[in-house]
Amino acid sequence: MPDSTIAPERRLSVSGEPSRQRTRLTTGLELAVALHVGVLTVFTSWAFGGQIPWARSLMVGWATGGFLLFVIALGTLARRHGASPLGFARHLWPLLLFDLVVGASCFNPSFKPIVRDGEHFWALTTPPFSWLPSSARPELTLRELWQFNALVVSAFNLYLVLDNRRILRSLLLGFAANAVVLAVFGTFQKLVGAKGLWFGLVKSPNDHFFSTFVYHNHWGSFVLLHTAVCLGLLFHYVRRGGHRDVWHSPVMAGAVATLLLAASVPLSSSRSSSVLVCLFLLGALVHFLARLIRRRRDLNESPLLPVAGIIFAAALALGATLYLGRDVIQQRAQLTARQLEQIKAENSLNARLLLYRDTWRMAAEKPWFGWGLETYADVFRIYNSAPTPVHGWRPFYAQAHNDWLQSLAESGFVGTTLLGLLGLAPLLAVPWRRVESVLPRYLLAGCGLLLLYAWVEFPFANPSVMLAFWTSLYAAARYAQLDARSADAANR
Protein backbone atom coordinates (compact mmCIF):
# COMPACT_ATOMS: atom_id res chain seq x y z
CA MET A 1 0.00 0.00 0.00
CA PRO A 2 1.43 3.41 -0.89
CA ASP A 3 2.30 5.63 2.01
CA SER A 4 -0.58 8.10 2.33
CA THR A 5 1.10 10.33 4.86
CA ILE A 6 0.19 13.95 4.14
CA ALA A 7 3.13 15.95 2.89
CA PRO A 8 4.28 18.76 5.21
CA GLU A 9 3.41 21.40 2.59
CA ARG A 10 -0.28 20.52 2.79
CA ARG A 11 -0.76 20.83 6.55
CA LEU A 12 -3.37 23.42 7.38
CA SER A 13 -3.40 26.11 10.02
CA VAL A 14 -6.26 26.57 12.47
CA SER A 15 -7.95 28.87 9.96
CA GLY A 16 -7.74 26.20 7.26
CA GLU A 17 -5.06 27.89 5.16
CA PRO A 18 -1.61 26.42 4.47
CA SER A 19 1.05 27.66 6.86
CA ARG A 20 4.63 27.23 5.62
CA GLN A 21 6.05 28.96 8.69
CA ARG A 22 4.37 26.47 10.99
CA THR A 23 5.46 23.60 8.77
CA ARG A 24 9.10 24.63 9.02
CA LEU A 25 8.86 24.93 12.80
CA THR A 26 7.16 21.55 13.19
CA THR A 27 9.56 19.82 10.82
CA GLY A 28 12.54 21.29 12.64
CA LEU A 29 11.19 20.07 15.97
CA GLU A 30 10.53 16.62 14.55
CA LEU A 31 14.08 16.36 13.24
CA ALA A 32 15.47 17.60 16.56
CA VAL A 33 13.54 14.95 18.48
CA ALA A 34 14.50 12.19 16.04
CA LEU A 35 18.16 13.24 16.15
CA HIS A 36 18.13 13.44 19.95
CA VAL A 37 16.69 9.95 20.41
CA GLY A 38 18.85 8.53 17.61
CA VAL A 39 22.10 9.80 19.11
CA LEU A 40 21.01 8.65 22.57
CA THR A 41 20.23 5.16 21.30
CA VAL A 42 23.42 4.70 19.29
CA PHE A 43 25.70 6.12 21.97
CA THR A 44 24.18 4.06 24.79
CA SER A 45 24.32 0.81 22.84
CA TRP A 46 27.97 1.26 21.88
CA ALA A 47 29.01 2.58 25.30
CA PHE A 48 28.64 -0.80 27.01
CA GLY A 49 24.85 -0.57 27.08
CA GLY A 50 25.15 2.41 29.42
CA GLN A 51 26.42 0.22 32.27
CA ILE A 52 29.82 1.83 32.73
CA PRO A 53 29.80 4.82 35.15
CA TRP A 54 31.23 7.37 32.69
CA ALA A 55 28.92 6.16 29.92
CA ARG A 56 25.92 6.36 32.22
CA SER A 57 26.80 9.94 33.16
CA LEU A 58 27.10 11.02 29.53
CA MET A 59 23.92 9.15 28.63
CA VAL A 60 21.89 10.83 31.38
CA GLY A 61 23.38 14.22 30.49
CA TRP A 62 22.32 13.89 26.85
CA ALA A 63 18.94 12.37 27.76
CA THR A 64 18.24 15.31 30.05
CA GLY A 65 17.98 17.41 26.89
CA GLY A 66 14.75 15.52 26.28
CA PHE A 67 13.10 17.61 29.02
CA LEU A 68 13.87 20.79 27.08
CA LEU A 69 12.49 19.32 23.85
CA PHE A 70 9.42 18.18 25.78
CA VAL A 71 8.72 21.71 27.05
CA ILE A 72 9.28 23.21 23.58
CA ALA A 73 6.94 20.62 22.06
CA LEU A 74 4.18 21.37 24.56
CA GLY A 75 4.44 25.09 23.82
CA THR A 76 4.45 24.52 20.06
CA LEU A 77 1.44 22.21 20.14
CA ALA A 78 -0.47 24.53 22.48
CA ARG A 79 0.05 27.51 20.15
CA ARG A 80 -0.86 25.50 17.07
CA HIS A 81 -4.10 24.10 18.46
CA GLY A 82 -5.04 26.85 20.89
CA ALA A 83 -5.30 24.38 23.76
CA SER A 84 -3.72 23.82 27.15
CA PRO A 85 -0.22 22.31 26.90
CA LEU A 86 -1.02 19.88 29.71
CA GLY A 87 -3.57 18.15 27.52
CA PHE A 88 -0.84 16.91 25.20
CA ALA A 89 1.03 15.34 28.12
CA ARG A 90 -2.04 13.59 29.53
CA HIS A 91 -0.61 10.11 28.90
CA LEU A 92 2.21 10.86 31.33
CA TRP A 93 -0.05 11.13 34.37
CA PRO A 94 1.14 7.72 35.72
CA LEU A 95 4.73 8.98 35.51
CA LEU A 96 3.81 12.12 37.45
CA LEU A 97 2.20 10.07 40.23
CA PHE A 98 5.15 7.66 40.22
CA ASP A 99 7.54 10.61 40.59
CA LEU A 100 5.51 12.01 43.48
CA VAL A 101 5.55 8.68 45.32
CA VAL A 102 9.24 8.01 44.73
CA GLY A 103 10.17 11.64 45.41
CA ALA A 104 8.34 11.52 48.75
CA SER A 105 10.25 8.37 49.70
CA CYS A 106 13.54 10.26 49.41
CA PHE A 107 12.56 12.43 52.39
CA ASN A 108 11.72 9.42 54.52
CA PRO A 109 14.87 7.25 54.83
CA SER A 110 14.64 3.75 56.31
CA PHE A 111 18.40 3.13 56.56
CA LYS A 112 20.94 5.17 58.49
CA PRO A 113 24.72 5.27 58.03
CA ILE A 114 26.93 4.07 60.88
CA VAL A 115 30.70 3.77 61.30
CA ARG A 116 32.22 0.87 63.20
CA ASP A 117 35.95 0.18 63.46
CA GLY A 118 36.55 2.63 60.64
CA GLU A 119 34.11 0.80 58.33
CA HIS A 120 30.94 2.38 56.94
CA PHE A 121 27.70 0.41 57.19
CA TRP A 122 24.00 0.93 56.59
CA ALA A 123 21.64 -0.07 59.39
CA LEU A 124 17.87 -0.57 59.21
CA THR A 125 15.91 2.00 61.18
CA THR A 126 12.31 3.12 61.54
CA PRO A 127 11.59 5.90 59.02
CA PRO A 128 10.35 9.23 60.44
CA PHE A 129 6.91 8.67 58.88
CA SER A 130 6.26 4.95 58.80
CA TRP A 131 2.96 5.31 56.91
CA LEU A 132 4.55 7.21 54.01
CA PRO A 133 6.74 5.86 51.17
CA SER A 134 10.35 5.44 52.28
CA SER A 135 13.72 4.75 50.70
CA ALA A 136 16.62 2.83 52.15
CA ARG A 137 19.10 4.86 50.08
CA PRO A 138 17.56 8.22 49.02
CA GLU A 139 20.62 9.29 47.04
CA LEU A 140 20.47 6.16 44.89
CA THR A 141 16.72 6.52 44.49
CA LEU A 142 16.99 10.11 43.25
CA ARG A 143 19.72 9.23 40.76
CA GLU A 144 17.74 6.31 39.36
CA LEU A 145 14.54 8.35 39.22
CA TRP A 146 16.24 11.09 37.22
CA GLN A 147 17.70 8.58 34.77
CA PHE A 148 14.35 6.82 34.34
CA ASN A 149 12.51 10.09 33.70
CA ALA A 150 15.14 11.30 31.24
CA LEU A 151 14.95 8.12 29.17
CA VAL A 152 11.15 7.84 29.24
CA VAL A 153 10.51 11.50 28.42
CA SER A 154 13.05 11.36 25.58
CA ALA A 155 11.19 8.37 24.15
CA PHE A 156 7.79 9.99 24.77
CA ASN A 157 8.85 12.94 22.63
CA LEU A 158 8.55 10.61 19.63
CA TYR A 159 4.89 10.08 20.46
CA LEU A 160 4.33 13.74 21.21
CA VAL A 161 6.09 15.39 18.25
CA LEU A 162 6.53 13.11 15.24
CA ASP A 163 3.67 13.64 12.80
CA ASN A 164 5.03 11.77 9.80
CA ARG A 165 5.23 8.01 9.43
CA ARG A 166 8.16 8.33 7.05
CA ILE A 167 10.29 9.97 9.74
CA LEU A 168 9.31 7.25 12.20
CA ARG A 169 10.24 4.52 9.74
CA SER A 170 13.56 6.22 8.97
CA LEU A 171 14.32 6.37 12.69
CA LEU A 172 13.42 2.72 13.13
CA LEU A 173 15.62 1.83 10.14
CA GLY A 174 18.48 3.62 11.86
CA PHE A 175 17.85 1.66 15.06
CA ALA A 176 17.81 -1.62 13.14
CA ALA A 177 20.98 -0.76 11.20
CA ASN A 178 22.78 0.12 14.43
CA ALA A 179 21.75 -3.20 16.00
CA VAL A 180 22.92 -5.18 12.94
CA VAL A 181 26.31 -3.45 12.97
CA LEU A 182 26.64 -4.26 16.67
CA ALA A 183 25.76 -7.89 15.91
CA VAL A 184 28.40 -8.14 13.18
CA PHE A 185 30.93 -6.46 15.48
CA GLY A 186 30.12 -8.94 18.26
CA THR A 187 30.24 -11.91 15.90
CA PHE A 188 33.75 -11.08 14.71
CA GLN A 189 34.78 -10.42 18.30
CA LYS A 190 33.48 -13.85 19.29
CA LEU A 191 35.03 -15.69 16.37
CA VAL A 192 38.51 -14.33 17.08
CA GLY A 193 38.19 -15.39 20.72
CA ALA A 194 38.48 -11.92 22.27
CA LYS A 195 38.85 -12.08 26.06
CA GLY A 196 37.22 -8.73 26.67
CA LEU A 197 35.04 -6.00 25.19
CA TRP A 198 36.18 -4.08 22.12
CA PHE A 199 38.37 -7.02 21.02
CA GLY A 200 39.97 -7.32 24.44
CA LEU A 201 40.77 -3.65 24.99
CA VAL A 202 38.35 -3.45 27.92
CA LYS A 203 38.10 -6.19 30.55
CA SER A 204 34.53 -7.34 31.03
CA PRO A 205 33.22 -7.81 34.59
CA ASN A 206 31.21 -10.76 33.24
CA ASP A 207 32.65 -13.68 31.29
CA HIS A 208 29.46 -13.97 29.25
CA PHE A 209 29.66 -10.73 27.28
CA PHE A 210 28.82 -10.06 23.67
CA SER A 211 29.53 -7.17 21.33
CA THR A 212 29.58 -4.05 23.53
CA PHE A 213 27.21 -5.50 26.14
CA VAL A 214 28.60 -6.69 29.45
CA TYR A 215 25.95 -9.38 29.96
CA HIS A 216 24.83 -11.75 27.21
CA ASN A 217 21.18 -11.82 28.34
CA HIS A 218 21.06 -8.03 28.02
CA TRP A 219 22.34 -8.41 24.48
CA GLY A 220 19.64 -11.00 23.86
CA SER A 221 16.99 -8.58 25.14
CA PHE A 222 18.36 -5.83 22.91
CA VAL A 223 18.23 -8.14 19.89
CA LEU A 224 14.70 -9.26 20.73
CA LEU A 225 13.40 -5.68 20.54
CA HIS A 226 15.31 -4.89 17.37
CA THR A 227 14.25 -8.13 15.72
CA ALA A 228 10.72 -6.82 16.20
CA VAL A 229 11.76 -3.59 14.48
CA CYS A 230 13.28 -5.50 11.55
CA LEU A 231 10.28 -7.77 11.12
CA GLY A 232 7.82 -4.89 11.31
CA LEU A 233 9.73 -2.98 8.63
CA LEU A 234 10.01 -6.11 6.47
CA PHE A 235 6.25 -6.61 6.48
CA HIS A 236 5.76 -2.93 5.73
CA TYR A 237 7.92 -3.07 2.60
CA VAL A 238 6.44 -6.40 1.51
CA ARG A 239 2.98 -4.95 1.74
CA ARG A 240 3.85 -1.62 0.15
CA GLY A 241 5.28 -3.22 -2.98
CA GLY A 242 6.02 -0.85 -5.85
CA HIS A 243 9.18 -2.71 -6.91
CA ARG A 244 9.86 -4.76 -10.02
CA ASP A 245 10.36 -7.90 -7.96
CA VAL A 246 11.51 -8.97 -4.53
CA TRP A 247 15.16 -8.93 -5.61
CA HIS A 248 14.95 -5.23 -6.45
CA SER A 249 13.32 -4.21 -3.16
CA PRO A 250 14.52 -3.63 0.41
CA VAL A 251 12.95 -6.94 1.42
CA MET A 252 15.92 -9.23 0.70
CA ALA A 253 18.45 -6.91 2.33
CA GLY A 254 16.15 -6.58 5.32
CA ALA A 255 15.73 -10.34 5.61
CA VAL A 256 19.50 -10.89 5.57
CA ALA A 257 19.98 -8.15 8.18
CA THR A 258 17.31 -9.71 10.39
CA LEU A 259 18.99 -13.11 10.19
CA LEU A 260 22.41 -11.63 10.99
CA LEU A 261 20.92 -9.94 14.02
CA ALA A 262 19.03 -13.00 15.25
CA ALA A 263 21.99 -15.35 14.65
CA SER A 264 24.09 -13.38 17.13
CA VAL A 265 21.92 -14.47 20.07
CA PRO A 266 22.87 -18.17 20.17
CA LEU A 267 26.43 -17.12 19.43
CA SER A 268 26.32 -14.96 22.58
CA SER A 269 25.45 -18.10 24.62
CA SER A 270 22.16 -16.63 25.89
CA ARG A 271 19.89 -19.66 26.08
CA SER A 272 16.65 -18.01 27.14
CA SER A 273 16.96 -15.17 24.63
CA SER A 274 17.74 -17.65 21.86
CA VAL A 275 14.49 -19.48 22.55
CA LEU A 276 12.45 -16.25 22.52
CA VAL A 277 14.02 -14.92 19.32
CA CYS A 278 13.59 -18.30 17.62
CA LEU A 279 9.90 -18.42 18.58
CA PHE A 280 9.46 -14.84 17.40
CA LEU A 281 11.01 -15.61 14.02
CA LEU A 282 8.95 -18.78 13.71
CA GLY A 283 5.77 -16.82 14.36
CA ALA A 284 6.78 -14.21 11.78
CA LEU A 285 7.51 -16.97 9.25
CA VAL A 286 4.08 -18.52 9.79
CA HIS A 287 2.50 -15.07 9.45
CA PHE A 288 4.35 -14.42 6.18
CA LEU A 289 3.51 -17.83 4.73
CA ALA A 290 -0.16 -17.38 5.60
CA ARG A 291 -0.22 -14.02 3.81
CA LEU A 292 1.61 -15.50 0.82
CA ILE A 293 -0.75 -18.47 0.52
CA ARG A 294 -3.80 -16.22 0.76
CA ARG A 295 -2.45 -13.86 -1.88
CA ARG A 296 -1.52 -16.69 -4.30
CA ARG A 297 -4.96 -18.21 -3.93
CA ASP A 298 -6.59 -14.85 -4.61
CA LEU A 299 -4.62 -14.78 -7.87
CA ASN A 300 -5.58 -18.41 -8.61
CA GLU A 301 -1.92 -19.44 -8.49
CA SER A 302 -0.36 -22.37 -6.68
CA PRO A 303 1.50 -21.39 -3.48
CA LEU A 304 3.45 -24.66 -3.33
CA LEU A 305 6.67 -23.56 -5.05
CA PRO A 306 7.21 -20.20 -3.26
CA VAL A 307 6.26 -21.72 0.11
CA ALA A 308 8.70 -24.60 -0.38
CA GLY A 309 11.44 -22.14 -1.39
CA ILE A 310 10.91 -19.97 1.66
CA ILE A 311 10.89 -22.95 4.02
CA PHE A 312 14.10 -24.25 2.41
CA ALA A 313 15.76 -20.82 2.78
CA ALA A 314 14.67 -20.65 6.43
CA ALA A 315 16.05 -24.14 7.12
CA LEU A 316 19.30 -23.19 5.41
CA ALA A 317 19.60 -20.05 7.55
CA LEU A 318 18.90 -22.06 10.71
CA GLY A 319 21.52 -24.62 9.77
CA ALA A 320 24.11 -21.91 9.10
CA THR A 321 23.37 -20.32 12.48
CA LEU A 322 23.70 -23.63 14.32
CA TYR A 323 26.95 -24.38 12.52
CA LEU A 324 28.42 -20.96 13.27
CA GLY A 325 27.59 -21.19 16.96
CA ARG A 326 28.07 -24.93 17.37
CA ASP A 327 30.84 -24.65 19.99
CA VAL A 328 28.95 -22.15 22.12
CA ILE A 329 25.68 -24.07 21.78
CA GLN A 330 27.40 -27.31 22.80
CA GLN A 331 28.93 -25.68 25.88
CA ARG A 332 25.61 -24.20 26.98
CA ALA A 333 23.80 -27.49 26.34
CA GLN A 334 26.30 -29.32 28.56
CA LEU A 335 25.90 -26.67 31.24
CA THR A 336 22.12 -26.98 31.10
CA ALA A 337 22.36 -30.77 31.47
CA ARG A 338 24.65 -30.41 34.49
CA GLN A 339 22.30 -27.91 36.11
CA LEU A 340 19.31 -30.19 35.59
CA GLU A 341 21.20 -33.12 37.07
CA GLN A 342 22.21 -31.00 40.05
CA ILE A 343 18.62 -29.94 40.71
CA LYS A 344 17.45 -33.54 40.42
CA ALA A 345 20.17 -34.84 42.75
CA GLU A 346 19.50 -32.22 45.42
CA ASN A 347 15.73 -32.70 45.18
CA SER A 348 15.24 -29.05 46.16
CA LEU A 349 14.64 -25.65 44.67
CA ASN A 350 17.57 -24.27 42.79
CA ALA A 351 19.26 -21.03 43.72
CA ARG A 352 17.12 -18.99 41.32
CA LEU A 353 13.84 -20.10 42.90
CA LEU A 354 15.28 -19.48 46.35
CA LEU A 355 16.24 -15.98 45.23
CA TYR A 356 12.68 -15.37 44.03
CA ARG A 357 11.23 -16.57 47.32
CA ASP A 358 13.50 -14.28 49.33
CA THR A 359 12.70 -11.36 47.05
CA TRP A 360 9.00 -11.96 47.58
CA ARG A 361 9.54 -11.94 51.36
CA MET A 362 11.32 -8.61 50.96
CA ALA A 363 8.44 -7.21 48.92
CA ALA A 364 5.85 -8.50 51.40
CA GLU A 365 7.42 -6.43 54.19
CA LYS A 366 6.52 -3.18 52.38
CA PRO A 367 3.79 -4.17 49.90
CA TRP A 368 2.38 -0.71 49.14
CA PHE A 369 5.42 1.43 48.27
CA GLY A 370 8.41 -0.90 48.55
CA TRP A 371 11.85 -0.19 49.96
CA GLY A 372 12.78 2.51 47.47
CA LEU A 373 13.93 2.66 43.87
CA GLU A 374 17.44 1.20 43.27
CA THR A 375 17.71 -0.14 46.85
CA TYR A 376 17.45 -3.86 46.13
CA ALA A 377 21.15 -4.67 46.48
CA ASP A 378 21.38 -3.06 49.94
CA VAL A 379 18.09 -4.27 51.42
CA PHE A 380 18.17 -7.81 50.06
CA ARG A 381 21.15 -8.66 52.27
CA ILE A 382 18.65 -8.84 55.15
CA TYR A 383 16.46 -11.38 53.38
CA ASN A 384 19.10 -13.45 51.61
CA SER A 385 18.72 -17.01 52.92
CA ALA A 386 21.09 -18.65 50.43
CA PRO A 387 23.27 -21.24 52.20
CA THR A 388 26.83 -20.14 52.85
CA PRO A 389 29.43 -22.46 51.28
CA VAL A 390 31.86 -24.15 53.63
CA HIS A 391 34.77 -22.20 52.14
CA GLY A 392 33.41 -18.94 50.84
CA TRP A 393 31.02 -16.06 51.21
CA ARG A 394 27.27 -16.07 50.90
CA PRO A 395 26.38 -15.04 47.31
CA PHE A 396 25.62 -11.35 46.81
CA TYR A 397 22.75 -10.33 44.53
CA ALA A 398 22.63 -6.87 43.01
CA GLN A 399 19.57 -7.87 40.95
CA ALA A 400 16.64 -10.20 41.60
CA HIS A 401 16.89 -11.79 38.13
CA ASN A 402 13.17 -11.04 37.91
CA ASP A 403 12.31 -7.44 37.09
CA TRP A 404 8.68 -7.86 38.13
CA LEU A 405 9.54 -9.11 41.61
CA GLN A 406 12.28 -6.51 41.97
CA SER A 407 9.84 -3.77 41.02
CA LEU A 408 7.45 -4.97 43.71
CA ALA A 409 10.30 -5.03 46.23
CA GLU A 410 11.54 -1.54 45.33
CA SER A 411 8.35 0.29 44.30
CA GLY A 412 5.58 -1.81 45.82
CA PHE A 413 2.26 -2.59 44.22
CA VAL A 414 1.46 1.11 43.87
CA GLY A 415 4.64 1.97 41.97
CA THR A 416 4.54 -1.18 39.81
CA THR A 417 0.91 -0.52 38.86
CA LEU A 418 1.75 3.06 37.89
CA LEU A 419 4.59 1.84 35.68
CA GLY A 420 2.22 -0.58 33.98
CA LEU A 421 -0.32 2.20 33.39
CA LEU A 422 2.46 4.39 31.98
CA GLY A 423 2.95 1.86 29.20
CA LEU A 424 -0.77 1.22 28.66
CA ALA A 425 -1.96 4.85 28.59
CA PRO A 426 -0.92 5.72 25.00
CA LEU A 427 -1.94 2.29 23.68
CA LEU A 428 -5.48 2.60 25.02
CA ALA A 429 -5.91 5.85 23.09
CA VAL A 430 -5.27 4.16 19.71
CA PRO A 431 -8.25 3.07 17.56
CA TRP A 432 -6.68 -0.28 16.75
CA ARG A 433 -9.53 -1.46 14.53
CA ARG A 434 -8.64 1.25 12.03
CA VAL A 435 -4.89 0.52 12.08
CA GLU A 436 -3.92 -1.31 8.90
CA SER A 437 -0.13 -1.48 9.28
CA VAL A 438 1.47 -4.44 11.04
CA LEU A 439 4.57 -2.43 11.94
CA PRO A 440 3.25 -1.13 15.30
CA ARG A 441 1.93 -4.58 16.15
CA TYR A 442 5.36 -6.16 15.67
CA LEU A 443 6.95 -3.45 17.80
CA LEU A 444 4.47 -4.16 20.57
CA ALA A 445 4.99 -7.91 20.18
CA GLY A 446 8.68 -7.36 20.90
CA CYS A 447 7.80 -5.27 23.95
CA GLY A 448 5.40 -7.96 25.15
CA LEU A 449 8.01 -10.69 24.82
CA LEU A 450 10.49 -8.58 26.76
CA LEU A 451 7.96 -8.11 29.56
CA LEU A 452 7.49 -11.89 29.59
CA TYR A 453 11.26 -12.36 29.68
CA ALA A 454 11.44 -9.98 32.65
CA TRP A 455 9.83 -12.71 34.77
CA VAL A 456 13.03 -14.76 34.61
CA GLU A 457 15.72 -12.13 34.00
CA PHE A 458 16.49 -8.46 34.56
CA PRO A 459 16.58 -6.85 31.09
CA PHE A 460 15.40 -3.46 32.39
CA ALA A 461 18.55 -3.11 34.48
CA ASN A 462 20.33 -2.29 31.23
CA PRO A 463 19.75 1.35 30.16
CA SER A 464 20.09 0.55 26.47
CA VAL A 465 17.41 -2.15 26.68
CA MET A 466 15.14 0.11 28.73
CA LEU A 467 15.51 2.91 26.18
CA ALA A 468 14.81 0.52 23.30
CA PHE A 469 11.68 -0.71 25.06
CA TRP A 470 10.17 2.74 25.61
CA THR A 471 11.11 4.02 22.15
CA SER A 472 9.53 0.91 20.59
CA LEU A 473 6.36 1.33 22.65
CA TYR A 474 5.89 5.05 21.97
CA ALA A 475 6.89 4.70 18.31
CA ALA A 476 4.31 1.92 17.93
CA ALA A 477 1.57 3.98 19.55
CA ARG A 478 2.36 7.05 17.43
CA TYR A 479 2.67 5.11 14.18
CA ALA A 480 -0.66 3.40 14.86
CA GLN A 481 -2.33 6.77 15.48
CA LEU A 482 -0.96 8.20 12.24
CA ASP A 483 -1.93 5.07 10.32
CA ALA A 484 -5.50 5.23 11.63
CA ARG A 485 -5.66 8.94 10.78
CA SER A 486 -4.50 8.20 7.25
CA ALA A 487 -7.10 5.47 6.87
CA ASP A 488 -9.85 7.83 8.05
CA ALA A 489 -8.72 10.50 5.57
CA ALA A 490 -8.71 7.97 2.71
CA ASN A 491 -12.26 6.86 3.54
CA ARG A 492 -13.70 10.37 3.51
The pLDDT tens digits of the residues spanning 6-44 come to: 333 333 333 333 343 444 444 789 999 999 999 999 999
Find the DSSP H helices in 132-270.
138-161, 165-191, 197-200, 216-240, 250-267
DSSP H or E segment with residue 124? strand 119-124
Segment 128-152, tens digit of pLDDT: 888 899 999 999 999 999 999 999 9
Instruction: Tell me which H or E stretch contains 42.
Output: helix 20-46
pLDDT at 95 over 90: yes
Higher-scoring residue by pLDDT: 314, 230: 230
**Mean pLDDT, range 84-111, rounded to an integer:** 93
CB atoms within 10 A of CB 139: 11
Averaged confidence pLDDT in the chain: 84
pLDDT over 50 (residue 70): yes
| pTM, two decimal places | 0.87
Examine the pLDDT at 251 and tell me if it is beyond 80.
no
Lowest mean pLDDT across 40-54, 298-312, 427-441: 298-312
Residue 247 above 70 pLDDT? Answer: no
What is the pLDDT, as a whole number, of residue 208? 86
- Cα–Cα distances in angstroms (integers) from residue 415 to residues 94, 103, 296, 367, 429, in the given order: 9, 12, 50, 10, 22
Of 148, 185, 305, 170, nearest to 229 by C-alpha is: 170
- Is the pLDDT at 122 greater than 80, yes or no? no
- Residue 328 pLDDT grade (very low, low, confident, very high; cuts 50, 70, 90): low
pLDDT (tens digit, 9 = 90+) per residue, 179-217?
A: 999 999 999 998 888 888 988 888 888 888 999 999 999
* Rounded Cα gap, residues 383 and 399, in angstroms: 13
pLDDT average, residue stretch 311-315: 70
